[in-house]
A and B are shown apart, each in its own frame.
Chain A
């Protein structure tokens, strides 16, 4: 039977991680159907339908689904799930919020945050903040699975023409109300999806000194990250935090500056393709995961780094 994937979107566009989730879903079964539940979200159904890996789009349009409140969304997913063997969503704050409600309603033990599909019932998932990988087999008839988006490549966006089928909304409990969403505005790329991340730690010594980090991030068109120590010290706001209790990032290039490399930070960045560490303490654990380590005083090294980058003419915004 087929896989039901719940699309994440903002009612006008598909969120990028949905494409990564589609790739994961297609590894479970080739017959991937996407549920687009939202308000006035026809455009999203078109976008989902043009993804070649998607075989069918289910479209449920109701004001009740506008802000994907889990109390409203979960009953719709639960009902739609009747015809499916697998129910799949991204393991981000969208999927984590509603999927366990669906699993509980169906009396299924959910498999969270998978990084690999070994077979339709066997998956690999990180535990202990990525310090161990568990291979798990679900013995439930149906399976609820959330996938770690950064562990799967995004699916090709264009060229498909899946059929769009409208489905009926279901009753909602009216127990919760959406009030507002304050999105962190930034000129820079989003931390979770940026190609390059430049992160600062307690070594920066102050919030003002983070300018050394942001100058380099701007030069490289990179996102700005931080260790928990830097966030706790108040140097930078917590939405920049990379690590076990922050965001997990997998950029092509991760530059850790003044970060010692506590377990909790490494859990959030050690899958990055290339890691650079700049730290004055040559014994800092961050060097054990760094491809290129520079043992230096960051206050001297960062201005030099910026000057060297300015000499390169290959970097493009």
Chain B
């Protein structure tokens, strides 16, 4: 079996983002970037399946500017076999990303596509489901457990009420939740080896897809700030304030 795993380069989750004064977006210059956290889980699960012998090949793909290759190299360093970089310099909406991935799926013919449930920058949570719909494949979202069988995969998903178990036929799209596994760190020798692994480069423009964004971003602003409150001296004062001032008790 073969897995295509999609990774996105985003502002590191530990960075406090800063909104640009002109409302056009957030500052990304000189900001630490890293792999979208649940995409790391997607890579880890793909590599684990390869180590179990059920999967023969793991191909990592990223779509974006040249620096997206760093994200692919990181996936290669923890065990992916080959990289595909689809070069695109502008922001592409999940609909366009799913269309690009569909083209790559048609070419690479994987049995499964793994990706993170959501990117922590635009917070859309769409790409995996859209790709599945375009391919007419079943999907598993918010995956926290994977049990791969011959022609299907049994999945435990995290839903608002608790956990749900489903079984989907292969090929399928699997979007991963953070609790699926514990992503490993790349060792230095593996980082060096990853530099020699193959990386195919494709220009998004050459795929023959209309990638015009349909959603216009009018402005980005800081959320209204909370007013700093007061410090209370002791528990009795706290309870008294909650009861008499805030009236929530």
Residues of A within 8 A of B (CB): 69-71, 74, 92-94, 96-105, 107-113, 122, 125-140, 173, 175-184, 192, 196, 220, 238-239, 244-245, 247, 252-253, 263-264, 270, 273-276, 282, 287-296, 301, 304-305, 308-309, 312, 314-315
Contacts and interface: CB of A to CB of B under 8 A. Distances in A.
Nearest to A144: B126
Interface stretch (B75-83, B198-206, B225-233): B225-233
A176 B235 contact: no
B108 to A, nearest CB: 20
B220 A134 contact: yes
Given A136-B217, A196-B248, A112 B125 contact: yes
B111 interface: no
Nearest to B135: A104
A308 B236 contact: yes
Contacts of B161: 181, 183-184
A270 B239 contact: no
B26 interface: yes
Contact of A101 (B11, B26, B130, B218): B130
A287 B141 CA distance: 36
Given A129-B120, A179-B154, A305 B220 contact: no
Interface in B1-38: 11, 13-14, 16-17, 19, 26, 37
Given A181-B164, A315-B249, A103 B26 contact: no
Given A109-B213, A136-B217, A244 B232 contact: no
A68 B238 CA distance: 46
B220 A101 contact: no
A287 B88 CA distance: 42
A99 B220 CA distance: 25
B188 interface: no
Contact of A93 (B133, B139, B158, B213): B158
B94 A109 contact: yes
Q: Which of B13, B235, B241 has the most CB of A within 10 A?
A: B235
Contacts of A136: 215-218
Contacts of B139: 70-71, 97, 101, 176
Given A128-B11, A128-B120, A305-B238, A104 B248 contact: no
Given A74-B133, A133-B221, A103 B231 contact: no
